[in-house]
A and B are shown apart, each in its own frame.
Chain A
């Protein structure tokens, strides 16, 4: 009998090679919703604990990069007895197509939710073509 043990094989995790976040602290992927209206696409991202000042929304090439940093000073002088969630920074990125008017992207933050509004470019908006009587 061959006694050689098989090594534990794990699926290799591919790290996103484009925007590796460096710095202190843990980074998490926040949950997000994306919905479409006739004029816009909207991305909603849950980032509890992040204030409007600590969010950066960047456009790099085709990527919309969202980083939210959290301050961890609140836990000083406290002993944590029970912990269900970890505190960490948030990072998420989205690849945008040409259907978005990049000049008019807007972002706002309220109660831990970041709302990014991505207006559709003129050429993808539904357009009604009038039928003329000949």
Chain B
């Protein structure tokens, strides 16, 4: 009779090996080639932050004319639309390297709080669009007095 020696002390160890192999496989399959810049990403990229009185949305849109931007607020959705135009045409120059993208874009952001649409302010400086949306009055906490009966 042949005796088979049990090599591994822990029978679960082979499972951890399989698990590792599987996770490597998943990593391999899910690793899409890294796309740089705006290609494939939502444009413009935004940062949504909040302070005591307002919601602030920032978007990096370098080199756009303010007239080409369209910002709208309806209920709790903020939409930014626009067109980024190159300032030189392809015909007059020869491109040696192209990383920046141009074209129309549109995106909507759901706001974290109710805002006062009448008092929304937007500014554009150094290629960054900053939209300040004051919180609606009803969202501010209201003190309730308790009456002793």
B-side interface size class? 35 or more
Q: Known A49-B60, A81-B112, A111-B62; judge A35-B127 contact (CB<8 A).
A: no
Query: Which residue in chain A gives the minimum CB-CB distance to B66?
Result: A111
Instruction: Say yes or no for B75: interface residue by CB 8 A criterion.
Output: no
Q: Known A37-B92, A49-B127; judge A112-B97 contact (CB<8 A).
A: no
Q: Which residues of chain B from 115 to 132 have any CB-CB distance to chain A below 8 Å in the complex?
A: 124, 126-128
Q: How far is the CB of A10 from chain B (nearest CB, A)?
A: 13
Instruction: Say yes or no for B30: interface residue by CB 8 A criterion.
Output: no
Across the interface, do B62 and A48 meet the contact criterion of CB distance under 8 Å?
yes
Instruction: Say yes or no for A33: interface residue by CB 8 A criterion.
Output: yes
B137: which A residues are within 8 A, CB to CB? none
Instruction: Say yes or no for A98: interface residue by CB 8 A criterion.
Output: no
Instruction: Say yes or no for B45: interface residue by CB 8 A criterion.
Output: yes
Across the interface, do A113 and B47 meet the contact criterion of CB distance under 8 Å?
no
Across the interface, do A77 and B63 meet the contact criterion of CB distance under 8 Å?
no
| Most central of B36, B95, B127 by chain A CB within 10 Å | B127
Instruction: Say yes or no for B51: interface residue by CB 8 A criterion.
Output: yes
Q: Known A31-B37, A35-B95, A113-B127; judge A47-B62 contact (CB<8 A).
A: yes
Instruction: Say yes or no for A61: interface residue by CB 8 A criterion.
Output: no
Across the interface, do A79 and B127 meet the contact criterion of CB distance under 8 Å?
no
What is the CA–CA distance of A35 and B93 in the complex, to the nearest angstrom?
A: 6
Q: Would you give 14 A-B contacts (Cβ < 8 Å), ordered by A?
A: A34-B95, A36-B95, A37-B92, A37-B93, A46-B63, A49-B127, A75-B49, A79-B51, A81-B48, A85-B46, A111-B63, A111-B64, A112-B63, A113-B63
Residues of chain B touching chain A, judged by Cβ–Cβ distance below 8 Å, are: 7, 36-38, 41-42, 45-52, 56, 60-64, 88, 92-100, 109, 112, 124, 126-128
Residues of chain A touching chain B, judged by Cβ–Cβ distance below 8 Å, are: 1, 31-37, 41-42, 44, 46-51, 75, 77-85, 110-113
Closest 7 pairs between A and B when the two form their complex, measured CB to CB: A112-B127, A112-B62, A48-B127, A84-B45, A48-B60, A31-B99, A82-B48
